[in-house]
């Protein structure tokens, strides 16, 4: 396996909630509580949003939340804002001390 | 504050090698892991490998084994990634990203170094 599966794009109107899925296998997402999420604006480095499935670093808006069920992790953005328009990537620890990233999801704010 | 600063953009010929560096500051260098991740133009993130200076440990993603070398210099708090036998498919932005030991997430990222492979 080389990458976790994410939807290519998700759209929502300001104020709405959207959810981005991240599907892996029992060897990565399903096997460890080491799923993290990153936001990337064009031309910028990724920024950590969520770690260890559902934890937010200091300074990250409470509008971002994470969860996991089986081999699928999810990122929910509540109260969608224009500034949330960006690319989002999940990441998971996998066996043999390596990591996989998701295929990436472009969030469009309508 | 934590800072991770990359070396400048590079243009390389196919078949050659490139060495990218990240200079860190604002934290005890050897106490943290550093990872390398790349992103081809318009594409997603791709994991390359990890260095753990304190335990002298290095691990490369299977795809890059035999072609990548990751090193560090504790005296300058810098990490290095050298990729050989370059092809056009190696054209990408190369990021280094810090990990608090055994947490399995990347809390600080450098700004990235663009490597362009072109004849």
User: Which one, of A98, A102, A109, A99, lies nearest residue A88 by Cα?
Assistant: A102
Mean pLDDT value across residues B70-99: 97
A-chain residues within 8 Å CB-CB of B59? 96-98
Mutate to test the interface with B, among A45, A47, A55, A90 (most CBs of B within 10 A): A45
pLDDT score, position A95: 80
Mean pLDDT value across residues A10-36: 96
Local confidence band at A97 (pLDDT 50, 70, 90 cut-offs): confident
pLDDT score, position A1: 58
pLDDT score, position A93: 95
Local confidence band at A39 (pLDDT 50, 70, 90 cut-offs): very high
Mean pLDDT value across residues A17-32: 96
Q: Among residues of chain A, what percentage have pLDDT more than 90? A: 95
Interface contacts A/B by beta carbons within 8 Å: 59
Token pair of B21 as six digits:
């560096």
Determine phi and psi for B105, rounding to 5 degrees: -145, 165
Mean pLDDT value across residues A78-104: 94
pLDDT score, position B111: 96
B-chain residues within 8 Å CB-CB of A45? 95, 109-112
Mutate to test the interface with A, among B2, B5, B37, B45 (most CBs of A within 10 A): B45
Identify the residue whose tokens are 């029992």.
A26
């Amino acid at each position: 396996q080389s990458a976790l599966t994410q939807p290519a794009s998700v759209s929502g109107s300001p104020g709405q909630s959207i959810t981005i899925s991240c599907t892996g296998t029992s060897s990565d997402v399903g096997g460890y509580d080491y799923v993290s999420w990153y936001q990337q604006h064009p031309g910028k480095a990724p920024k950590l949003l969520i770690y260890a499935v559902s934890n937010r670093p200091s300074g990250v808006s409470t509008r971002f939340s994470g969860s996991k069920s089986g081999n699928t992790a999810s990122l929910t953005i509540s109260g969608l804002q224009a500034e949330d328009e960006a690319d989002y990537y999940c990441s998971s620890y996998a066996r043999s001390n390596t990591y996989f990233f998701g295929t990436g999801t472009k969030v469009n704010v309508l | 504050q934590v800072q991770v600063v990359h070396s400048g953009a590079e243009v390389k010929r196919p078949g050659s090698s490139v060495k990218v560096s990240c200079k860190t500051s604002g934290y005890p260098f050897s106490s943290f892991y550093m990872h390398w991740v790349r992103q081809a133009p318009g594409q997603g993130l791709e994991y390359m490998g990890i260095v753990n200076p304190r335990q002298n440990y290095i691990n490369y993603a299977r795809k890059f084994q035999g072609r990548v070398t990751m090193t560090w210099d504790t005296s300058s708090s810098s990490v290095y990634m050298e990729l050989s036998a370059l092809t056009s498919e190696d054209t990408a932005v190369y990021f280094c990203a810090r990990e608090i030991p055994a947490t399995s997430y990347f809390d600080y990222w450098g700004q990235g170094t663009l490597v362009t492979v072109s004849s």
